[in-house]
A and B are shown apart, each in its own frame.
Chain A
Amino acid sequence: MGLKVISLMKQVPLFSQMRMGEDGLMDRTKAKSMINVDCCFGLEQGLQIKKYVPDAELIVVSMGPPSFDQSLRQAISLGFDRAILLSDRRLGGSDTFSTGLALATLLRSKILPADPHTPYIIFAGRQTSDGDTAHVPSQVAENLGIAQVTFAVSVDYAPAHLVVRRMIEGGHQTLKVPMPCVVSVAPTAIHVRRPSLAGAIKARQVSIEAYNLDQIGLDPASVGLNGSPTSVAKVVNITRNRPPVSMINGNTAEELAGNLAKTFDIAASLHAAAAPEAVSAPGAAETPRQDRFPRKDFRNGASGIFTWAEVVATELALSSIEILNPARKLADELKTTVTSVLIGDHVAGLAPRLIAHGADEVIVVEDSRLKEYSILPFTSVIEQIVKERHPEISLFGATTSGRELAPRLGSRLGAGVTADCTILKVGEFVQPSSKTIWSPCLEAIRPTYGESKLATIVGFRCPQMATARPGTFEASQPDLSRQGKITPFVPQLNDSLFAVEILSTERKEAGDEGLFSASVIVTGGRPCGELDDFKLIKELVEALEEKGISAAWGATRQAVDHGYAPYSRQIGQTGKTVRPKLYIAVAISGAIQHVSGMKESGRIIAINQDRQSHMFNCADYGVVGDYLQTLPALIRRVKSGFTFGLKA
């Protein structure tokens, strides 16, 4: 029997066709469905293995209603050999924890080789467009007890191991990963192939293997609404009506840039302007207090707020400083303490900074083997600490590390994780089914469905875990006089935790992935190519980066078509869809194709010579002027400290 290569896949509705029903739940029935975009990259990566191992068996696996048949057949048409669906009504309402458990159980009972040492590979997409958590691959890996890599951008196969390049904060890392393993693939890897007609013919004839919970031997109580450690408490629409554009006045480029800077100062910081608190959440206060139910505390003695202090190279990650802000507020409200877990090699010196930003205690773990973050040892270390301390809440920055570490840890601890939160607060949850008010609980609130909804997620198992979207919470001002405790911790570390070998780590290299994570995107239209080959666009990006603002440059289709920029930089309907905090459109006409790829950006500045340009209709701030003059003036402003209200 050849190597088994499994790709996990989900079918998702097209956003544009989804409507929220009267009940506040998404009505997917009327929307057309498609294979989740990221999953396509996972499928393709599976297909690529066939080049190395021609007799590999390619298996596509999904969990969902029978209508997923359509996408499973599509995978067959691409070249998969088998298609397997786990389908059971009792799975309805499963969160990522339960989904990971159910998929792992299916894999183990029906697909994976009986001998645990036989190698196999599981690919998955980075995340789904409807759930958006990126949790499931990590949770499948944890449930199977195998190694994992997430955010992979390239995969090379060698017998017995894979060499995977993954995105990390500000760069890339190359890992040697033993098989079996789970690899989740970023949407910058190899684009999915088109089905061949021969494949499509085969797809019509193949039979899809379908299983229910009983057939895979999974207790229905451990999945679905009741088995999931988290539940969706509420979903509200985010209505984002962009106010009419404010045109910036000024006679010279210098004046225009100055007035633009002034406008930003007046409008306070972007943080405040775009902070999710500003989004009204109707219904929050409307829920009648069901006092007839008794209040119950589910924490069972767990107390304290944990945060993971991520170290990037030798510095604390900004996101780890940021989460101390909500952590502090939660701790004060719950009358408890904040404990940061700091792991690395010679990192104790960073502890005082965590205390200055709000930690009461820092648990320091130092070991030369922990110099670079790696999922298996870090999960184990935090697990050991959590089991000793029993925190009630545990918070992580939603970085490329935090977004795999938290769900893996959650699955290990039996706790639910809410991904990518923008609001964290203390609340309570009325559960009519158990006639209980659970209180107090962490209300983890996050945008979902392509940023069109705001979902409140609660969980009743400790620690209640969440990852926080970097840049959402403002880092608090450091108070150097704060006192705190620094506690060393020596974990048990066995060699098997270091099975994944880090071959190289490169930081500070500009990849196109930057477009997905940048706070600022500066995009140029065709004139920017014709007139200065995007020189000024790139200079503005560099100036912002020098000030510690993550920035990237993009191009319109016209500019790409004319060869001034690679396709990977194209923003718009047929390029990338981006949602940075600030979008600067330079010499762009505002064609609908372009606008549809950036209209969800936080703030939009349009710079164009033509006052009639449609781009101004889509912008918050408009500058009429020749970019060859306005951009240099703006770059000078940035160099002297103006960062559009964004904080480094």
Chain B
Amino acid sequence: MHMPVVETDVLVVGGGPAGLAFAIHYADMARRHNEDASQTVKIPDRVMVLEKASAAGNHTLSGAVINPSALRELLPDLDAKDFPFETAVVRDDTMIFTKDGAFELPFSPPYMSNKGNYVVMLGKLVRWLAEIAEKKNVQVFSGFSARELVFENGQLAGIRTGATGIDHQGNPMANYQPPTEVRAKLVILAEGPRGSLTRDLIKALDLAKGRNPQVYSLGVKELWEIPEGAFEKGRIVHSLGYPLGIDQFGGGFIYGVTKTLVAIGVVAGLDIADPSFDTQRALQIYKNHPFVSRIIKDGKLLRYGAKTIPEGGLFALPQLYHDKVMIVGDAAGFLAMPSLKGVDSSMRSGMLAARAACDALKANDASASRLSLYEKLFKASPIYKELYPVRNFRQAFKANLLLGAFQFGTQLVTGGRGLSASGRLTMAEDRAHCRPMRTSQAKASAAAGSCAAGFSVDKETAIFFSGTKHDEEQPSHIQVPSAAVCDECIRTYGGPCQHFCPAQVFEISADPKTGKKSLKLHPSNCVHCKTCDIRDPYGNVIWQTPYGGDGPEYENM
């Protein structure tokens, strides 16, 4: 069967906050320009957004507390009262958790103030943005995943969706459908953290040359329905300490979303030494902490999900553009770690890219040199102003939390330079930190403790609450290329994948006859967080998009 080819002017891969902010801003600017009769050169205005979730917002997950300023700029004609925010932040506590206790920090750490911010359900916000985009003639196609990049003469020419109707062995079945190739004048990669095409592009064009590697945390979150009065709407709590160890970067969060909805989550760095650390388990332990269990004791679990967070900051950003392509949002990594907020800066990056895109397509020149305007705009933008002073924040915490706090303290004093002479603390990839450290025989971290009791749910049940679903009849979208490396990993570290994956995609089981341990994949459990692609100590896991429409159904996470 021949492969259909379709064309558009601008193709956006990923319909999240960054991709949609790009699309809306681009559509607005192009329309304004094209309606101006004095402009003889028109801006090509066909914008297509591909979203792999079954509907916009279904793969979106965040805390979320957001700063509304980017949204106000994106949609100046709308009254901020009409934004789909749940509530303003009314109370903001930072606490230290011990095993049984909780102590409030007497001061709010710098960069963590949430005054003027709002608690949102990001999925709902994204759904709303997608509707606005469609009204502005942006073609949003949900349920289609971009599978591979298409290069032509060394330049990016577009993408291809995946073929469907293929059996486990890769053979076409009776219901085979060929991929569709989308060719565009300009491609915007807005895939979110560790996008698979962004990963491929950075590698193919060496866009991370001379930068720090991106580092990530994994956030797991549950949405609970609680009786009114159990937790204040608009109250947000960030906690440090238990159940995470002193050597771990991360913490917990509790956000009062509505009077009867509370979001509870744990965020932990994927650079932890312990190969058996399990973030989903850490969340279960967290929920049984007296401070948290009191909130949810008469509640009901509604949803579960997980997502990675790019935390490398300024020095981990790849080159943001190349010929006919720009990278926006979490796919690049604009999150300012100390304030824990990335939605606002992601959307801003999309809007900046939209300005560069208009300039380029008006001139019919989407070359890297023309698109470098995007970086210039970025350096003059509020995102840069936010990222620069904390440019070494996460790197400082790389080794351990206490030392990191000290280093970050010196950064505050030195305006972000810290104790590094060059002004840039360097670091290695996350996976590099999983290797020289403890082997599986070592003492497991706190999060490996018992969590059978109380409000815990095992992973299998948790996955059910993510609503994730995949066509079982398809080749695995998670590849483990080398069986030998996999065996070595099991021998050396006991198979960290079975722990770090928050959705039980990886199972290490022993053959009942020979006792030999081997890996079994359950790709249909996947919640698309891409932790495996990041944290596998040997880089022996490759995540690619499964069939479009597959994956979690977060709706309002």
**Interface on A for B, CB 8 Å cutoff?**
44, 47-48, 190-201, 204, 530-531, 561-562, 567, 570, 573-575, 589, 591-593, 596
> In this assembly, does B242 line the interface, its C-beta being within 8 Å of a C-beta of chain A?
no
Closest 7 CB pairs of A and B: A198-B4, A197-B180, A194-B164, A193-B175, A198-B180, A592-B464, A190-B174
**Chain A residue contacts of B469, Cβ below 8 A:** 573-574
| Beta-carbon contact of A193 and B164 below 8 Å | yes
Q: Please indicate which of the listed interface residues A44, A195, A198, A531 has the most CB atoms of chain B within 10 Å of its own CB.
A: A198
Which A-chain residue is minimally distant from B55 (CB atoms)? A32
Contact of A573 among B144, B461, B464 (CB under 8 A): B464
Q: From known contacts A204-B139, A530-B512, infer whether A193 and B176 are also in contact, taking CB-CB under 8 Å.
A: yes
| Beta-carbon contact of B161 and A48 below 8 Å | no
How many angstroms between the C-alpha atoms of A197 and B464 in the bound complex?
A: 28
| Beta-carbon contact of B164 and A200 below 8 Å | no
> In this assembly, does B547 line the interface, its C-beta being within 8 Å of a C-beta of chain A?
yes
How many angstroms between the C-alpha atoms of A48 and B177 in the bound complex?
A: 12
Looking at chain B's contact residues, the main secondary structure is mixed
How many angstroms between the C-alpha atoms of A200 and B549 in the bound complex?
A: 13
> In this assembly, does B539 line the interface, its C-beta being within 8 Å of a C-beta of chain A?
no
Interface string of B541-557 (1 = CB under 8 A from A): 00000011100000000
Would you list 21 pairs from A and B whose C-beta atoms are within 8 A, ordered by A residue? A44-B175, A194-B164, A195-B177, A196-B161, A196-B179, A197-B161, A197-B180, A197-B548, A198-B4, A198-B6, A201-B6, A201-B139, A561-B522, A562-B520, A570-B472, A573-B464, A573-B469, A574-B469, A591-B464, A592-B461, A593-B464
How many angstroms between the C-alpha atoms of A81 and B267 in the bound complex?
A: 49
How many angstroms between the C-alpha atoms of A400 and B325 in the bound complex?
A: 58
Measured CB to CB, the closest approach of chain A to B153, in angstroms, equals 24
> In this assembly, does B526 line the interface, its C-beta being within 8 Å of a C-beta of chain A?
no
> In this assembly, does B460 line the interface, its C-beta being within 8 Å of a C-beta of chain A?
yes
How many angstroms between the C-alpha atoms of A554 and B193 in the bound complex?
A: 39
**Chain A residue contacts of B549, Cβ below 8 A:** 194
Which B-chain residue is minimally distant from A592 (CB atoms)? B464
Contact of B165 among A194, A198, A591, A593 (CB under 8 A): A194
| Beta-carbon contact of A48 and B174 below 8 Å | yes
Interface string of B463-484 (1 = CB under 8 A from A): 1100001111100000000000
Contact of A567 among B139, B161, B472 (CB under 8 A): B472
Contact of B547 among A194, A201, A570, A591 (CB under 8 A): A194
Q: From known contacts A194-B165, A574-B472, infer whether A531 and B522 are also in contact, taking CB-CB under 8 Å.
A: no
Contact of A193 among B141, B144, B177, B179 (CB under 8 A): B177
> In this assembly, does B50 line the interface, its C-beta being within 8 Å of a C-beta of chain A?
yes
| Beta-carbon contact of A192 and B460 below 8 Å | no
**Chain A residue contacts of B4, Cβ below 8 A:** 196-198
How many angstroms between the C-alpha atoms of A561 and B143 in the bound complex?
A: 25
**Chain A residue contacts of B522, Cβ below 8 A:** 561
How many angstroms between the C-alpha atoms of A196 and B145 in the bound complex?
A: 10
> Which B residues between 475 and 524 are near A, CB-CB below 8 angstroms?
512, 520, 522, 524
Q: From known contacts A194-B548, A567-B473, infer whether A574 and B524 are also in contact, taking CB-CB under 8 Å.
A: yes
Measured CB to CB, the closest approach of chain B to A237, in angstroms, equals 22
Interface string of B157-175 (1 = CB under 8 A from A): 0000100110000000111
**Chain B residue contacts of A530, Cβ below 8 A:** 512
How many angstroms between the C-alpha atoms of A453 and B68 in the bound complex?
A: 47
| Beta-carbon contact of A194 and B139 below 8 Å | no
**Chain B residue contacts of A190, Cβ below 8 A:** 173-175
10 A-B pairs besides A194-B548, A591-B461 with CB distance below 8 A are A191-B175, A194-B165, A194-B175, A196-B177, A199-B177, A561-B520, A561-B522, A574-B524, A575-B472, A593-B460
How many angstroms between the C-alpha atoms of A593 and B460 in the bound complex?
A: 8
**Chain B residue contacts of A592, Cβ below 8 A:** 460-461, 464
| Beta-carbon contact of B141 and A197 below 8 Å | yes
How many angstroms between the C-alpha atoms of A530 and B472 in the bound complex?
A: 21
**Chain B residue contacts of A591, Cβ below 8 A:** 460-461, 464
> In this assembly, does B182 line the interface, its C-beta being within 8 Å of a C-beta of chain A?
yes
| Beta-carbon contact of B165 and A197 below 8 Å | no
Contact of B177 among A194, A562, A593 (CB under 8 A): A194
How many angstroms between the C-alpha atoms of A44 and B165 in the bound complex?
A: 12
Which A-chain residue is minimally distant from B470 (CB atoms)? A574
**Chain A residue contacts of B213, Cβ below 8 A:** none
Measured CB to CB, the closest approach of chain A to B511, in angstroms, equals 9
How many angstroms between the C-alpha atoms of A196 and B163 in the bound complex?
A: 8
**Chain A residue contacts of B470, Cβ below 8 A:** 574
Which A-chain residue is minimally distant from B144 (CB atoms)? A197
Q: Please indicate which of the listed interface residues B139, B141, B174, B180 has the most CB atoms of chain A within 10 Å of its own CB.
A: B174
How many angstroms between the C-alpha atoms of A351 and B176 in the bound complex?
A: 52
How many angstroms between the C-alpha atoms of A44 and B512 in the bound complex?
A: 42
**Chain A residue contacts of B548, Cβ below 8 A:** 194, 197
Which B-chain residue is minimally distant from A594 (CB atoms)? B460
Q: Please indicate which of the listed interface residues A48, A193, A562, A567 has the most CB atoms of chain B within 10 Å of its own CB.
A: A193
**Chain A residue contacts of B471, Cβ below 8 A:** 194
> In this assembly, does B178 line the interface, its C-beta being within 8 Å of a C-beta of chain A?
yes
How many angstroms between the C-alpha atoms of A243 and B522 in the bound complex?
A: 34
Contact of A200 among B144, B173, B473, B547 (CB under 8 A): B144
**Chain B residue contacts of A204, Cβ below 8 A:** 139
Measured CB to CB, the closest approach of chain B to A51, in angstroms, equals 8
Which B-chain residue is minimally distant from A530 (CB atoms)? B512
Q: Please indicate which of the listed interface residues B472, B520, B524, B549 has the most CB atoms of chain A within 10 Å of its own CB.
A: B472
Which B-chain residue is minimally distant from A574 (CB atoms)? B472
Measured CB to CB, the closest approach of chain B to A341, in angstroms, equals 40
**Chain B residue contacts of A199, Cβ below 8 A:** 177
| Beta-carbon contact of B175 and A192 below 8 Å | yes
How many angstroms between the C-alpha atoms of A131 and B521 in the bound complex?
A: 39
How many angstroms between the C-alpha atoms of A282 and B548 in the bound complex?
A: 46
> Which B residues between 1 and 34 are near A, CB-CB below 8 angstroms?
4-6
Contact of B180 among A193, A196, A573 (CB under 8 A): A196
How many angstroms between the C-alpha atoms of A266 and B263 in the bound complex?
A: 49
| Beta-carbon contact of A197 and B182 below 8 Å | yes
Q: From known contacts A48-B174, A190-B174, A593-B460, infer whether A197 and B164 are also in contact, taking CB-CB under 8 Å.
A: no
How many angstroms between the C-alpha atoms of A593 and B465 in the bound complex?
A: 10
How many angstroms between the C-alpha atoms of A42 and B520 in the bound complex?
A: 35
How many angstroms between the C-alpha atoms of A334 and B512 in the bound complex?
A: 65
Q: From known contacts A196-B177, A531-B512, A561-B522, infer whether A191 and B460 are also in contact, taking CB-CB under 8 Å.
A: no
> Which B residues between 166 and 222 are near A, CB-CB below 8 angstroms?
173-180, 182
Which A-chain residue is minimally distant from B182 (CB atoms)? A197
Which B-chain residue is minimally distant from A78 (CB atoms)? B177
Measured CB to CB, the closest approach of chain B to A612, in angstroms, equals 9
Measured CB to CB, the closest approach of chain A to B54, in angstroms, equals 11
Which A-chain residue is minimally distant from B512 (CB atoms)? A530
**Chain A residue contacts of B5, Cβ below 8 A:** 198
| Beta-carbon contact of B165 and A200 below 8 Å | no
Measured CB to CB, the closest approach of chain B to A56, in angstroms, equals 16
How many angstroms between the C-alpha atoms of A191 and B469 in the bound complex?
A: 16
How many angstroms between the C-alpha atoms of A201 and B7 in the bound complex?
A: 11
Interface string of B278-294 (1 = CB under 8 A from A): 00000000000000000
Measured CB to CB, the closest approach of chain B to A79, in angstroms, equals 8
**Chain A residue contacts of B178, Cβ below 8 A:** 196
